[in-house]
Chain A
């Protein structure tokens, strides 16, 4: 039976109980992966670690905004890290959409949360079936601080190939997800 990911449970404990032990677990899982993401995005070791600290402090401070009906912990933390990474090379912070206000009384909708978690798990599974160069292209698009034109300059591939690879990767992901999802 599918269950909430451990990471999401830790993040909920941080959100609802300000649980420092759970926060430590989130750090143990995400800090080394965030650091790897930031290093491949072009940061040096020391600055990558500083940014990881910033991101984790934001996770602590913004935990009240986490909504497990709409995101898994990894997606929510990725977005914080990605926006921080973008702020470092943009002159202005990226404008963000207005936060959705949850009605105070709303009870957690367990089936909806589970469905979210399942989709996320299926997405991770689908990712593992991609060819390495497709995953590489996706990492370029989702983790590097590079516009698409820069990607092609660095890898020496024509832009069309990069774009179609990203496209293919996403299409394949989507198809796999659709196959898995009962209609």
Chain B
């Protein structure tokens, strides 16, 4: 894998660890952390501080039979379901969002394909497949968009994004990602609001595709 240069901003990593991000963003962050040693280390450093704070808590009184009940429950407690495994270019959190199945692409025209993984009031999460050298229609965001490259690369006005990189595009960004020459680019993209395309035809098609 190429060296990752675009990471999750620190504040967003903290919000992820605190569980306060919308689900689509949390999935993208969990997927990036799965691929990125630097961000994994940052999350684990946060946990080290949490652990230090936990150790420093003034102990509360636990009821007398709590330990006995715990030991009685140990062998009968159901085992946690096995964690979803990653598969190919899709790390475990993406396979989880895919319910363990390979993607079922829908054609968007121009060779671009997508699969919507979730779309609701919290935002949307989708996989995008962009053939080499092709551009995603120019669009603006009603809110924030996180795009993680899972295969290949893309470039836009913000820079070049290789496999593992994540682009954080805020609502004022008006961009047109173009896939690199090395092959099709596959991305995981999350927004907290529907995208708005600039060209007339894509705007008309938007409700159909729920892009």
Whether B73 contacts A124 by the Cβ 8 Å rule is no
Known: A71-B48, A72-B48. A127 touches B53 (CB 8 A): yes
Q: Smallest CB–CB gap between B21 and chain A, Å?
A: 9
B26 at the interface (CB under 8 A from A): yes
Whether A74 contacts B54 by the Cβ 8 Å rule is yes
Known: A57-B73, A75-B50. A35 touches B60 (CB 8 A): yes
Whether B47 contacts A37 by the Cβ 8 Å rule is no
Among the listed stretches B63-71, B143-151, B179-187, which one makes contact with chain A, having 4 or more residues with CB under 8 Å of it?
Answer: B63-71
Whether B48 contacts A147 by the Cβ 8 Å rule is no
Whether A141 contacts B14 by the Cβ 8 Å rule is yes
8 Å CB contact of B49 from A36, A98, A123: A123
A158 at the interface (CB under 8 A from B): no
Interface residues of B in 35-61 (CB under 8 A from A): 40, 43-44, 46-61
Whether B54 contacts A81 by the Cβ 8 Å rule is yes
Count how many chain A residues have C-beta atoms less than 8 Å from C-beta atoms of the other chain: 65
* Residues of B close to A120: CB separation below 8 A: 48, 51-52
Q: How far is the CA of A71 from the CA of B48 in the complex (A)?
A: 7
A92 at the interface (CB under 8 A from B): yes
Q: Smallest CB–CB gap between A110 and chain B, Å?
A: 19
B174 at the interface (CB under 8 A from A): no
Q: How far is the CA of A20 from the CA of B67 in the complex (A)?
A: 11
* Residues of A close to B20: CB separation below 8 A: 147-148
* Residues of B close to A119: CB separation below 8 A: 48
Q: How far is the CA of A173 from the CA of B26 in the complex (A)?
A: 27
Q: Contact mask A79-99 → B, CB, 8 Å, 1/0?
A: 101110010011010111111
* Residues of B close to A9: CB separation below 8 A: none
* Residues of B close to A127: CB separation below 8 A: 49, 52-53, 56
Tell me which of B57, B67, B91 has the highest count of chain A C-beta atoms within 10 A of its own C-beta. Answer: B57
Count how many chain B residues have C-beta atoms less than 8 Å from C-beta atoms of the other chain: 53
Q: Contact mask A146-182 → B, CB, 8 Å, 1/0?
A: 0110000000000000000000001001000000000
Whether B79 contacts A61 by the Cβ 8 Å rule is yes
8 Å CB contact of A52 from B58, B66, B77, B85: B66
Known: A60-B74, A78-B50, A142-B53. A36 touches B67 (CB 8 A): no
A66 at the interface (CB under 8 A from B): no
Whether B80 contacts A61 by the Cβ 8 Å rule is yes
Which partner residue on chain B sits nearest A169 by CB separation? B49
Interface residues of B in 74-94 (CB under 8 A from A): 74, 77, 79-80, 83, 85-86, 91-93
Whether A36 contacts B58 by the Cβ 8 Å rule is yes
B96 at the interface (CB under 8 A from A): yes
Closest 9 pairs between A and B when the two form their complex, measured CB to CB? A86-B19, A75-B51, A32-B59, A74-B51, A98-B92, A98-B34, A95-B30, A78-B50, A97-B33
Interface residues of B (CB under 8 A from A): 14-15, 17-20, 23, 26-27, 29-31, 33-34, 40, 43-44, 46-63, 66-67, 69-71, 73-74, 77, 79-80, 83, 85-86, 91-93, 96-97
9 example contacts (A-B, Cβ-Cβ < 8 A) are as follows A20-B74, A31-B66, A33-B57, A49-B66, A61-B77, A75-B44, A95-B30, A123-B52, A124-B52
